Structure 1
Amino acid sequence: MQTILGANGQIAQELAHYLHDDVAEDIRLVSRHPAKVHDTDQPFPANLMDADATAAAVAGSDVAYLTVGLPLDSTLWEKQFPVMMANTIAACQKHGTKLVFFDNTYMYPRTSAPQVEDTPFEPVGRKATVRARIANMLLDEMRAGTIEAAICRAPEFYGPGKTQSLTNSAVFDRIRQNKRPMIPVSADTKRTLIWTPDASRGMGLIGNTPDAFGQTWHLPIDPARLTYAQMIDICSDVTGRRIRYTTVPEIAFMIGGWFNAAVEEASELLPRYRDDNVFDSSKFAARFPEYTVTTYREGIAAILGA
């Protein structure tokens, strides 16, 4: 049994596709209101804030994948993420289930230095602090040998379907709607984005590779380092029309945050757009050389329907 905890997001749905097609059809989908992705899926309603419900959801599972996402709300993150991580760890320990945790990079330093699996955490801001806390909760148990687990870390998303990210909404979605894309902070710093189906396939592969446990993994990305300006050039090329863009400075987000709570929450992330973002997934590429990564051109063409 392969169980996905937090099964309604894009990452979880793509993971369900990979597990169904490449691993086994015995898949349990856990969330408050789970919906089948395939006819053979087993929906399991549960609130991961409830320890007993989490333990029941994990029971009988060989591998559990923690893929829960929450809205960009610092207070909600502080209240819920640590509890859900504690409940998930306890449930996996109780049932002898392997755990694969889908993590992000918020706790990494806000610099242009390459990010690798052992980059020290330097969280700045409430959301980054929460992400560092829950990652360390699991790392402590892994070091103590009380759980068999792997951490799969991903940079900012871009992708199809319900993929949510600042880049998707401000750039690619606007281009699809024939609107001018809005570039956050700088069009000339190098970015690292991960194609959401690649992230999910990589996580599923790690979850079914015995020697991958006990480690942190950076999920597979196109190793090209493109700026937003270069991405817009690709968009122009694949759509056959010249696309102009507007760069939105940090001060505009700051002012917007005075009037809009969602903009204020996103503002914590903006300093990361000032400098190059170099996320390194060479460890994954060396361990899984047969894995084919989606290139930026292929991903952008798929989003734009070109």
Structure 2
Amino acid sequence: MSTIALFGAAGAIGHSVAAALASRGQPYRVVGRDAARLRQAFGADPLAEIVTWDPDSPASVRAAASGIDTLVYMVGVDYWRFDLHPELLRKTLDGAIAAGVRQFVLIGTVYPYGRVQGGNPVSENHPRAPHTFKGRMRKAQEDLLMQADAAGRIRATVLRLPDFYGPGVQASLLHRAAQAAACGGTADLIGPIDAPHEFVYVPDVGPVVARLADTPAAFGKIWHLAGAGVTTQRELVSLMETQTGRKLKLRIAGKGMLRLLGLFNPFMRELVEMHYLMTDPLILDDAALQRLIGPIRKTPYAEGIRQTLAACRPCRPGSNLPA
């Protein structure tokens, strides 16, 4: 019987956590709104229990969390609807508590910190002082959860991630470049591309989440999972060029171009607010997490890029576009 549920399992991090649990032979529940999408992703795994939910229905949330000991929360929203984040978490949290869930793990971001204060790398003691709307919404999420922990209603923890990449991960700064490297097209990037940055390889995240959920001392605190080291987008593009033997054409959008594109594309419009992370890098320090759970496997960028390129969709014959 499943004792851990992955809410928002259909995303990249959900797939990684599910793979980590399956590798241990541990049954798990995947929860999402789209049954067909869940069946396509997890239907072949006999360890996966597929459950749909409606977060606007308290009864549906309770049913999705029924019989579960640990809930891992990865529920996403459209990038232009971050206002939904706090309320979605509150509804899920209330339903989880009503269902008797004991532990709640939130997969978080660096957004609640705002701009770096005091220099990099940033530990968990960094002030949470978001200056963006998205940062405030993510902070509100965390506050709801950690207040419930402090009140003794549930045991809760947050795992912060930097930008991520990996095989099939389309919601990545590097996805368009990887697809271009595989197909010979133009690499679309958000600049500046020479600023220090870090990326976490998505398949490395799942094992960390599984270990965190099994560690009682993790709860009541916020933790960082850093990437595989400080790099730049240009360095990773160079790795793509080296591995494919193909020189890439670069098309780099700065803040001004994002603002212009945002007139026609709501996603691009919302990237303008977060562009400070490209010019004022925030690098995570995960020494505390490693002291807690031990050494963490971090795939070197060269290997991560190799696996990412290998998973890119094949190109149409005679075309630079994916098939």
Determine the structure 2 residue equivalent to 1:304. 309
- Give the match for residue 89 of structure 1: 93
Change (3 A) 1:39 1:96: closer
Q: Distance in 2 between matches of 1:279 and 1:177?
A: 33
Percent identity of the aligned residues?
23
Which secondary structure state, in structure 2, belongs to the residue aligned with residue 68 of structure 1? coil
Q: What is the aligned length?
A: 300
Match of 1:9 in 2: 11
Distance 1:188-1:168 versus aligned 2 partners, 3 A rule:
closer
Listed one character per residue, the Cα deviations across residues 30-87 of structure 1 (whole Å, up to 9, x for unaligned) are 11124241123211111123222111111111111111111211xx321x32222112
TM-score normalized with structure 1 length:
0.91
Q: Tell me the CA shift for residue 134 of structure 1.
A: 0.7
In the aligned structure 2, how far is the partner of 1:302 from the partner of 1:67?
24
> Aligned runs of 1:42-191 on 2, under 5 Å?
42-73=49-80, 76-78=81-83, 80-94=84-98, 95-111=100-116, 113-165=120-172, 167-191=173-197
| Cα-Cα RMSD | 1.9
1:256-295 to structure 2, matched below 5 A, reads: 256-295=261-300
Match status 1:18 vs 2:20: yes
- Superposed CA deviations along residues 253-302 of structure 1, whole A, max 9, x for unmatched, are 11111232221122222121012331222222233334311111111111
The one-letter amino acid paired with 2:233 is Y
Assess if the C-alpha contact under 8 Å between 2:71 and 2:101 holds in 1: no
Using the TM superposition, name which of 49-58 and 173-182 deviates more: 173-182
Deviation at 1:244, TM superposition (A): 4.2
**Maintained 8 Å contact 1:203/1:219:** no
CA distance in 2 between partners of 1:181 and 1:211 (Å): 43
Aligned partner of residue 261 in structure 2, secondary structure: helix
TM-score by length of 2: 0.86
**C-alpha spacing 1:219/1:153, structure 2 compared with 1 (3 Å):** same
Q: Which runs of 5+ in 2 are unaligned?
A: 312-323
Report Cα offsets for 1:235-266 as digits up to 9, x if no partner: 22222233342332211111111232221122
- Check the 8 A contact 1:151/1:215 in 2, yes or no: yes
Give 3-state SS (helix, strand or coil) of 1:230's partner.
helix
Residues 8 and 75, structure 2, Cα contact 8 Å, conserved in 1: yes
The answer on whether the counterparts of 2:191 and 2:254 sit within 8 Å (CA) in structure 1 is yes
What letter matches 1:63 in structure 2?
T
Tell me if structure 2 keeps the 8 A contact 1:159–1:299.
Answer: yes
Alpha-carbon distance between aligned partners in 1 of 2:211 and 2:170, rounded to the nearest angstrom: 20
Q: Which amino acid aligns with 1:138?
A: L
Distance of 1:301 and 1:30 partners within structure 2: 31
Deviations 1:6-30 (A, max 9, x none): 12111112211111222612x1111
Structure 2 residue corresponding to 1:247, chosen from 238, 252, 271: 252
Q: Is the contact between residue 53 and residue 61 of structure 2 (CA under 8 Å) also seen in structure 1?
A: yes
SS at match of 2:283: coil
Cα pair 1:258 1:264 within 8 Å, conserved? yes
Between 1:232-241 and 1:6-15, the stretch displaced more is 232-241
Separation in 2 of the partners of 1:201 and 1:147? Answer: 23
Check the 8 A contact 1:198/1:221 in 2, yes or no. Answer: no
Look up the SS of the partner of 1:226 in the other structure: coil
C-alpha contact (below 8 Å) 1:189/1:274 kept by paired residues = yes
Q: Which deviations, in whole Å up to 9, do the C-alpha atoms of 1:181-203 show, x marking residues without a partner? A: 23312121100111111122211
CA contact (8 A) 2:85 2:137 kept: yes
Could you tell me which amino acid in structure 2 is paired with residue 22 of structure 1?
A: R
Partner of 2:48: 41
SS at match of 1:190: coil
Q: Render the CA deviation track for 1:185-226: whole Å, top value 9, x for unaligned.
A: 21211001111111222112101222222221112521x211
**Equivalent position amino acid for 1:197 in 2:** P
In 2: Cα distance, 1:276 partner to 1:190 partner: 6
Q: Which residue, 235, 239, 246 being the options, matches 1:234?
A: 239
CA distance in 1, matches of 2:91, 2:17: 22
SS at match of 1:149: strand
Looking at structure 2, the residues matched to 52 and 242 of structure 1 have their Cα atoms a distance apart, in angstroms, of: 55
Q: Is the 8 A contact 2:9 2:74 kept in 1?
A: yes
